[in-house]
């Protein structure tokens, strides 16, 4: 761990971020970049930073230092994080698995803060771990300021770095990667719906993560499989959620067909801002009302570990390895990652708003 902290010290060489459009698509098997526009330009990660928080959580689970049903304490600092959040109460606890699901679906900033403190003991220590791990993954143009992706004075990354992180999540934690396909989950009797609407309408897409702040624009990291071929893609700085999603779909379609997406289409989906405008928006971000929808849970139920777990009609239980294998066998090549959950709460197939406020 000391080596990680030494590495983190070199992150100060990255430059300041600006809110600009960028995109990249990478072949998961060969590592070939199939499409890229401004892929090395510095940008704010927004909630795509939570992919690193999840990476470190999965690493702790893999090493046996965390358990999915382990209860983590909610500090006053974690509970006070800006929306979007679950509304956790100081002094209460939340399970590791619920933190994971809350970050994947609702992009909950309080859940990310609880995870950070649960792993590292303090937010500062966790940020050091995030930046050290980023360097180990080759994310040399990235500096994380916090576990959530809320605007910070030095938070910066690139589309290329985030693509590396997305691929690392599937490569290093195949038993956990299927979490990123979760559309919604039930927390304290409420259905918490996710932001990733594109998964519902793009065939073969089974993850990853949305992101949004005023400073960053609309960001999205995605992975999809077609004809036994898996691609990873990142879009940053979208002017709207719809524009971002449509651009992602076009990039993936073109890349699967071995075609180049015209740069002008990427530019049209994004917003170009001056430094002054970007700084002003960063000061206003995140939008307080940017929260995901919740509603009372009224699904069928199955018992699991004494808890009532919601399930959707015509949906297999992905906590079972056989279900995950059956679900992906038709699309996943032998060289691609096999998505098998390590005990994931049952997702259903409904997505909601795209704002995630950090």
For every residue of 293-351, DSSP letters joined together read -EEE--SEEEEETTEEEEE-TT---TTSHHHHHHHHHTT--TTSPP---SSPPPP-S-B
Q: Cα–Cα distance between 327 and 181 in angstroms, integer? A: 12
Q: Cα–Cα distance between 22 and 40 in angstroms, integer? A: 8
pLDDT at position 109: 97
Cβ burial 245-272 (10 Å sphere, 16+ → b, else e)? bbbbbbbbebbbeeeebeeebbbebbbe
Q: Cα–Cα distance between 56 and 116 in angstroms, integer? A: 9
pLDDT at position 348: 37
pLDDT at position 311: 32
Q: Which residues are catalytic?
A: 47, 50, 107
Q: Cα–Cα distance between 341 and 174 in angstroms, integer? A: 8
Burial class (CB in 10 A: 0-12, 13-18, 19+), 304: middle
Phi-psi map region of 42: left, alpha, beta (phi>0 left; psi -120 to 50 alpha): beta
Q: Which segments of the chain have a pLDDT < 50?
A: 1-13, 274-275, 277-278, 280-356
Residues with Cβ within 8 Å of 345's Cβ and at least 6 positions away in sequence, in order, are 97, 98, 101, 182, 185, 186, 309, 319
pLDDT at position 139: 98
What would the 3-class secondary structure string for 228-240 be?
CEEEEEEEEEECC
3-state secondary structure of 43: strand
pLDDT at position 140: 96
**What dotted CATH number matches 24-253+287-329?**
3.40.710.10
Task: Name the strand (E) or helix (H) holding 79.
Answer: helix 76-79
This prediction has a pTM of: 0.77
Q: Are 129 and 55 in contact (CB under 8 A)?
A: no
Cβ burial 33-62 (10 Å sphere, 16+ → b, else e)? ebbbbbbebbbbbbbbbbbbbbbbbbbbbe
């Amino acid at each position: 761990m000391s080596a990680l902290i030494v590495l983190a010290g070199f992150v100060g060489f990255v430059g300041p971020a600006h809110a600009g459009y960028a995109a990249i698509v990478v072949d998961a098997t060969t590592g070939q970049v199939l499409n890229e526009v401004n892929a090395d330009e510095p940008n704010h990660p927004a909630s795509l930073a939570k992919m690193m928080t999840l990476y470190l959580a999965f690493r702790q689970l893999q090493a046996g230092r965390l358990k999915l049903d382990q209860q983590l304490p909610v500090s006053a600092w974690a509970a006070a994080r800006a929306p979007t959040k679950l509304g956790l109460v100081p002094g209460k606890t939340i399970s590791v698995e619920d933190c994971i699901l809350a970050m994947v679906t609702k992009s909950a900033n309080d859940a990310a803060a609880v995870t950070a403190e649960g792993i590292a003991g303090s937010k500062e220590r966790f940020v050091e771990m995030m930046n050290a791990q980023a360097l180990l993954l080759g994310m040399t143009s990235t500096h994380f300021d916090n576990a959530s992706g809320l605007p910070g004075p030095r938070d910066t990354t690139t589309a290329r770095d985030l693509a590396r992180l997305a691929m690392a999540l599937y490569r290093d934690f195949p038993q956990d990667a299927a979490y990123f396909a979760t559309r919604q989950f039930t927390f304290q009797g409420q259905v918490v719906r996710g932001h990733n609407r594109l998964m519902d309408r793009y065939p073969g897409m089974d993850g990853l993560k949305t992101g949004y702040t005023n400073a960053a624009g609309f960001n999205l990291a995605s992975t999809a499989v077609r004809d036994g071929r898996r691609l990873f893609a990142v879009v940053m700085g979208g002017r709207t959620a719809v524009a971002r999603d449509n651009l992602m779909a076009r990039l993936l379609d073109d890349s699967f067909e071995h075609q180049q997406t015209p740069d002008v289409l990427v530019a049209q989906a994004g917003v170009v801002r001056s430094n002054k405008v970007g700084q002003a928006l960063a000061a206003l971000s995140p939008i307080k009302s940017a929260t995901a929808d919740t509603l009372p849970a009224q699904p069928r139920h199955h018992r699991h570990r004494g808890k009532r777990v919601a399930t959707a009609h015509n949906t297999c239980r992905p906590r079972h390895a056989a279900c995950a294998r059956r679900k992906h066998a038709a699309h996943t090549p032998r060289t691609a990652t096999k998505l098998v959950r390590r005990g994931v709460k049952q997702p259903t197939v409904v997505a909601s708003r795209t704002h995630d406020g950090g």
